Amino acid sequence: MERMSFTQEIEKRRTFGIISHPDAGKTTLTEKLLLFGGAIQEAGAVKNNKIKKTATSDFMEIERQRGISVATSVLAFYYKDKKINILDTPGHKDFAEDTFRTLTAVDSVIVVIDVAKGVEEQTEKLVEVCRMRHIPMIVFINKLDREGKDAFDLLDEVESKLKLTVTPLSFPIGMGHDFKGIYNIYERNINLFTAESKTKISEGQAFEDLHSKELETLIGESHATQLREELELVSGVYPPFDRDAYLEGELQPVFFGSALNNFGVRELLDCFIAIAPSPRPKSAEERLVRPEETDMTGFVFKIHANMDPKHRDRLAFLKIVSGTFKRNTPYLHIRHNKKLKFSSPNAFFGDKKQIVDTSSYPGDIVGLHDTGNFKIGDTLTEGELLHYKGIPSFSPEHFRYINNADPMKSKQLAKGIDQLMDEGVAQLFTLDLNGRKVIGTVGALQYEVIQYRLEHEYGAKCTYEPFPVHKACWVATEDEKSEEFLDFLRVKQKYMAKDKKGQTVFLADSHFSLEMARQKYPSVKLHFTSEYE
């Protein structure tokens, strides 16, 4: 009996992330989904936690808002008996690395695209990561109440720029000022857009027979003719929906709507809970772990530090992969080979976090209070030696030498750098030649964050010096003793470094030198991420 309910708990869960370019409507959509789940009462609750655009030049403000947003890192709610966990992915591009890591903890994603802007840069990058990992994706084209691109042109753009194979499961009728509503291909009904849909959840009208005259009455003659033609084109051009292909990451269903007007959102959510995967097996270095296994296992994908120096506690976010997580139970911290118990782990619900009183199941996220034990990627088990894979580092975009500005505080500086890197704020590279430390970040903003935090939390001072690097390349070779590899190491000595795990990295100073190295040393493989197949 108990076994039965455990597997039912797993089947109920849908853990996903919403990805988009800033301003496409991710926050608005998240909020509408929460409203459907009854997890929040009014619009605006999530929005207030968003990193505001105006704050981009003021990193303290961003950090403060990031602090507030701990609770919204995981938004959980029930909808039609499904437990939905939305993992927040920061939209700000300087925190892209955070987003990449969060994507290792989701079972599927929803991609939001602005109908007028089409596919934007940030979306391209994030979708590429999802595509490479075969994460099931649903596309939501937003802001249909505004003038935008033609639906077919957009679908083409999604296919070509994002390299996806799409199949529309809903289709817009008109757009902008002439927006009439949506035909739901998945449910075969029509939902008419009215000004009231902002406050009321509109129910679609069933519509089996597209050729009935009723269509004309509902949307007018020209729209009716156009819709029939367009739907014919849709079924002629796009493959039919196939759930297995979607789950394999080979086919992406597309929905149209307007998050702000709460239009098309119910259709998206209903289809999502029907087709999106429940927690899936995950590879550890040792073996594949299935969610139904009774022993608890999980991995840390995010660490959130408290900016207040008086409370230097951190919250480590653990994704449960298998078994049931219970408080006050000893779990093995694999990297430290140490048993840890948690007396007040946090569960997340709605836009709040609370102490776990019931059990948490695969797919759920628990927040563990941490005084410096955890590092991103750490695995917890009930005793089995397992190492979860798949939290890679990506080549940073910016690189600078970091120098100690207060010789009396070198210990504090080392400790501060160490802990900030464990949190994943930036990446540290140590040059082979002289042991100098180089900090690599995704955005220039992180340098200010690091400097400020080193000073305020660790009492250490640092300065930076430019270090021109084009890309960090993780180096792999089949034969470490080969002439070619040794020659590569010798010639590029100045540019060779170790990352925090001790992996060898080539810090290429230009695109040209990288290409030259690739040509000259074909047996040396240069990867832009720390984990490669």
98 near ligand G4P, judged by CB under 6 A: no
- The yes or no reply on residue 282 touching ligand G4P (CB under 6 A) is no
State how far the alpha carbon of 436 is from the alpha carbons of 89, 240, 453, 492, 495, in Å.
Answer: 33, 56, 21, 16, 11
Residue from the set 104, 108, 252, 258 that interacts with ligand G4P by CB under 6 A: 258
* Contact between residue 99 and residue 89 where contact means Cβ atoms under 8 Å apart: yes
Can you tell me whether residue 68 is helix, strand or coil?
A: helix
Residue 224: closest CA among 167, 188, 180: 180
Closest separation between CB of residue 254 and ligand G4P, Å?
16
Which of 7, 11, 12, 22 is the binder for ligand G4P (CB under 6 A)?
22
Residues 212-251, mask of contacts with ligand G4P (x by CB under 6 A): ----------------------------------------
Least distance (Å) between residue 18 CB and ligand G4P: 8
When binding is defined by CB under 6 A, the residue of 197, 261, 379, 427 that contacts ligand G4P is 261
Of the pair 259, 489, the CB lying nearest ligand G4P is at: 259
Choose between 253 and 257: whose C-beta lies nearer to ligand G4P.
Answer: 257
**Which among 324, 272, 270, 251 is positioned nearest to 107, based on CA atoms?**
272
Q: Shortest Cβ distance from residue 34 to ligand G4P (Å)?
A: 13
Q: Determine which residue in the list 111, 113, 169, 259 makes contact with ligand G4P, applying CB under 6 A.
A: 259
| Residue nearer to ligand G4P on the CB measure, 76 or 259 | 259
User: With CB under 6 A, what is the number of residues at the site for ligand G4P?
Assistant: 18
Give the separation between CA 203 and CA 175, rounded to whole angstroms.
20
Q: How far is the CB of 27 from ligand G4P (least distance, A)?
A: 3
Among residues 23, 187, 295, 384, which is the contact residue for ligand G4P, using CB under 6 A? 23
3-class secondary structure for 435-493? CCEEEEECCCHHHHHHHHHHHHHHCCCEEEEECCCCEEEEEECCCCCCHHHHHHHHHCH
Cβ atoms within 10 Å, residue 237? 12
* SS3 label, residue 148: coil
CB 292 within 8 A of CB 2: no
425 forms part of the interface with ligand G4P (CB under 6 A): no
Is 20 a binding residue for ligand G4P by CB under 6 A? The answer is: yes
Tell me if 266 contacts ligand G4P by CB under 6 A. no
What is the phi-psi region of residue 41: left when phi exceeds 0, alpha when psi lies from -120 to 50, beta otherwise? alpha
Segment lying near ligand G4P (by CB under 6 A), choices 23-31, 153-161, 188-196, 507-515: 23-31
451 binds ligand G4P (CB under 6 A): no
Would you count residue 91 as binding ligand G4P (CB under 6 A)?
yes
Q: Which stretch binds ligand G4P (CB under 6 A): 20-28, 62-70, 265-273, 338-346?
A: 20-28
Give the DSSP H/E element, type plus range, for residue 266: helix 265-275
Considering just the CA atoms, what is the radius of gyration of the chain in Å? 25
- Of 163, 168, 161, nearest to 186 by C-alpha is 168
Beta bridge mates, 352: 349
Mask for 111-150, x = binds ligand G4P (CB under 6 A): -------------------------------xx-xx----
Contact (Cβ atoms closer than 8 angstroms) between residue 139 and residue 158: yes
**Span from 15-23, 204-212, 375-383, 472-480 in contact with ligand G4P (CB under 6 A):** 15-23
Can you state the percent helix, strand and coil of the chain, rounding each to 5? 35, 30, 40
Q: Does 362 bind ligand G4P (CB under 6 A)?
A: no
Tokens of 29: 């959509």
Ramachandran assignment for 318, one of left (phi > 0), alpha (psi -120 to 50 degrees), beta (any other): beta
Contact region with ligand G4P (CB under 6 A), list: 17-25, 118-126, 130-138, 430-438: 17-25
Closer residue to ligand G4P in complex, CB, 142/395: 142
Q: Is 49 in the site for ligand G4P (CB under 6 A)?
A: no
| Footprint of ligand G4P (CB under 6 A) | 20, 22-28, 47, 91, 142-143, 145-146, 258-261
